[in-house]
């Protein structure tokens, strides 16, 4: 890895107890780390821990604030729209309003690709495309981004839009695929040629650390591995990692495409996530950080997940 200059000394985190937060704490372990958290238990490597109710009582100076807390995507659609906006937009507003009192240099917000699109896109996404999400979660994340972009304070403001993140302790669709492989269930998509960008947690934490320690232009950045993968590629990576060869059955792509089209709406979203395209261009972020390539390829990332 590259050596860093102008190392920050003290960082305030939100969302430190989550999947990304726990990996980021390891990446930033040589700094003094404080956290605002809803966790009732002490977080390892956090030297001072606050509740959100104590936000106005936090004093002193910080080099950076990294805001990862938020209401995650409710796939059961049981959370009310107002709650999404209260948490994802409202907490962001409170935090950035308070951040000026801490003399910070950098404010980093972990948003989501869903702030631009819901689950699929036939276009390769770049930061110049002005897209509007339809789902509540994406709209609340987009609203939080707008809070940051409209703020006039002079510190650096960087919004990261990650795609699906994988790493040790991962959750969600990749865990579901792993269970399918372990059960030996036959899969019909060996020759299905969709492309989806994914993100190894090590690439994400490296980029966050780099932004803390370097000056980059304010704005929105997509963050992803360099190489997009088909769903079959991901299945093969997982199978290799758990030392189980995935089972496939011959199935014409035309029938899969037809089946997608006639699925009931409640299943279509899941099918889009598994079979659809969603690629992002990470070159703006790589250029800002002077990276020829992300530190880890997707193949290397999956090897580390199952190491």
| pLDDT tens digit sequence for 215-225 | 899 999 999 99
- How far is the C-alpha of 16 from the C-alpha of 162, rounded, in Å? 17
On the question of pLDDT at 279 being above 80, the answer is yes
On the question of pLDDT at 5 being above 60, the answer is no
For residues 22 and 193, which has the higher predicted lDDT (pLDDT)? 22
On the question of pLDDT at 6 being above 80, the answer is no
Q: What DSSP state is assigned to residue 259?
A: H
176-210: pLDDT as tens digits: 899 999 999 999 998 888 999 999 999 999 999 99
111-159: pLDDT as tens digits: 999 999 988 888 899 999 988 888 899 999 999 999 999 999 999 999 9
- How far is the C-alpha of 251 from the C-alpha of 73, rounded, in Å? 32
**Helices 253-262 & 265-275, crossing angle to 10 degrees?**
150
Q: What's the pTM?
A: 0.93
Bridge partner list, 11:
33, 64
Q: How high is the pLDDT of residue 263?
A: 77
CA-to-CA dists, residue 66 to 43, 113, 133, 160, 294, angstroms: 16, 18, 24, 11, 21
Q: Which of 74-88, 149-163, 167-181, 212-226 has the lowest mean pLDDT?
A: 74-88
Q: How high is the pLDDT of residue 14?
A: 98
230-248: pLDDT as tens digits: 999 999 999 999 999 999 9
Handedness of CA 265, 234, 179, 245 (dihedral sign): positive
CATH number of the domain at 10-167+198-224+279-294, please? 3.40.50.720
On the question of pLDDT at 25 being above 50, the answer is yes
| 86 touches 109 (CB < 8 A) | no
Residue 261 confidence class, pLDDT cut points 50, 70, 90:
confident
Phi, psi of 156 (to 5 degrees): -65, 130
Residue 2 confidence class, pLDDT cut points 50, 70, 90:
very low
Alpha carbon 47 to its chain centroid, in Å, reads: 25
Q: How high is the pLDDT of residue 286?
A: 98
Handedness of CA 152, 155, 161, 165 (dihedral sign): negative
Left, alpha or beta for 276 (phi > 0: left; psi -120 to 50: alpha)?
Answer: beta
Please compute the mean of the pLDDT values over residues 96-109 and round it to a whole number.
96
pLDDT exceeding 70 applies to what percent of the chain?
95
Q: How high is the pLDDT of residue 4?
A: 46
């Amino acid at each position: 890895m590259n050596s860093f200059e102008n190392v920050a000394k003290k960082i305030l985190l939100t969302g430190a107890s989550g999947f990304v937060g726990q990996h980021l704490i390891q990446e930033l372990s040589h700094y003094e780390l404080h956290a605002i958290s809803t966790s009732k238990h002490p977080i390892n490597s956090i030297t001072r821990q606050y509740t959100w109710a104590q936000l106005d009582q936090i004093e002193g100076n910080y080099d950076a604030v990294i805001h990862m807390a938020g209401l995650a995507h409710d796939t059961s659609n049981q959370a009310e729209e107002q709650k999404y906006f209260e948490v994802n937009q409202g907490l962001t507003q409170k935090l950035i309003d308070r951040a000026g009192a801490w003399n910070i240099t950098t404010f980093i917000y972990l948003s989501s690709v869903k702030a631009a699109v819901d689950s699929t896109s036939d276009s390769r996404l770049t930061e110049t495309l002005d897209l509007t999400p339809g789902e509540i979660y994406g709209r609340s994340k987009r609203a939080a981004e707008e809070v940051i972009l409209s703020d006039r304070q002079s510190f650096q403001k960087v919004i990261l839009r990650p795609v699906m993140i994988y790493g040790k302790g991962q959750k969600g669709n990749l865990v579901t695929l792993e269970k399918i492989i372990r059960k030996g269930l036959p899969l019909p998509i060996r020759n299905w040629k969709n492309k989806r960008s994914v993100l190894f947690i090590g690439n994400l934490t490296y980029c966050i650390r780099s932004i803390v320690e370097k000056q980059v232009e304010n704005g929105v950045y997509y963050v992803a591995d360099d190489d997009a993968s088909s769903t079959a590629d991901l299945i093969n990576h997982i199978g290799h990692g758990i030392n189980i060869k995935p089972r496939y059955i011959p199935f014409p792509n035309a029938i899969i495409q037809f089946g997608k089209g006639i699925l009931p709406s409640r299943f279509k979203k899941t099918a889009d996530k598994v079979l659809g395209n969603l690629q992002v261009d990470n070159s703006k972020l790589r250029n800002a950080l002077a990276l020829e390539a992300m530190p880890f390829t997707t193949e290397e990332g999956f090897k580390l997940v199952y190491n």
